[in-house]
């Protein structure tokens, strides 16, 4: 089957490539662009390990064809850290509050939490739990993930106040 020419912005940079339309976005990112941060956990749209940000929405990249993402802007965990290479507050808080154990769910979890805080900078614990309900973690029991996201929200809003 004919390959198509795809063009998208990935982590702020322009990317052009040839790919079969049926290629799943997760495979395109991992295998063609060597962005192995987003993981394949379940391959059945349940676990959220493959979560990336697509035009401002959190999506499961195992359930999106590269053809559908043609022309879009994609952010993966590789694009979350600050431009100077220091960790994003969310990454820092996951480390600080033990929001990860094996780390398999973490790229998806942080990418999802990033969008959640963009939309709701001051979420309650219930809102955090509902907001990350599409991401499964087999290790932590979620408690420290919720703590980390809440702590990141505090830091981010504190920063904003300080800048104002």
Partner 1 sequence: MIPAAFDYHRPASLDDAVKLLAQYGDEARVVAGGHSLIPMMKLRLAQPGHLVDLQDIAALKGIKDTGAGFEIGAMTTQREIIQSAALTAACPILKEAAEQIADPQIRYCGTLGGNVANGDPGNDMPAIMLALDAVYLAKGPAGTRELKARDFYESAYATKLKEGEILTTIRIPKPPAGHGSAYVKQKRKIGDYATAAAAVVLTMSGGKCASAAVSLTNVGDTALFAAAAGAALVGSSLDQAAIDKAVQAAVGIAQPSKDTRGPVDFRKSVAGVMVRRAIEAAAKRAR
Tell whether the torsion through CA atoms of 29, 35, 38 and 43 is positive or negative.
Answer: positive
- List, in order, residues 6 or more apart from 62 with CB less than 8 Å away: 24, 25, 26, 40, 42, 43, 44, 45, 50
List 10, 39, 41, 58, residue binding partner 1 (CB under 8 A): 58
Minimum distance of partner 1 from residue 55's CB (angstroms):
10
Question: Largest Cα–Cα distance in the chain?
Answer: 55
The residues in 44-73 that bind ligand FAD, with binding defined as CB under 6 A, are 45-46
Residues binding partner 1 (CB under 8 A): 1-2, 4, 20-22, 24, 43-46, 48, 51, 57-60, 63-65, 67-68, 70, 112, 116, 130-134
Residues binding ligand FES (CB under 6 A): 40-43, 45-50, 60, 62, 100-106, 137-140
């Amino acid at each position: 089957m004919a390959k198509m020419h795809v063009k998208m912005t990935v982590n702020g940079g322009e990317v052009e490539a040839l790919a079969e339309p049926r290629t799943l976005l997760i495979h395109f990112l991992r295998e063609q662009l060597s962005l192995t941060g987003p993981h394949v956990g379940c391959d059945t749209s349940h676990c959220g390990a493959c979560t990336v940000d697509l035009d401002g929405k959190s999506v499961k990249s195992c359930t999106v064809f590269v053809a559908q993402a043609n022309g879009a802007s994609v952010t993966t965990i590789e694009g979350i850290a600050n431009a100077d290479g220091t960790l994003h507050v969310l990454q820092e808080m996951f480390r600080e509050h033990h929001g990860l154990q094996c780390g398999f769910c973490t790229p998806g979890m942080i990418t999802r939490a990033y969008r959640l805080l963009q939309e709701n900078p001051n979420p309650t614990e219930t809102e955090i739990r509902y907001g990350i309900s599409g991401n499964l973690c087999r290790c932590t029991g979620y408690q420290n993930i919720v703590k980390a996201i809440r702590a990141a929200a505090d830091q981010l809003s504190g920063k904003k106040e300080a800048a104002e």
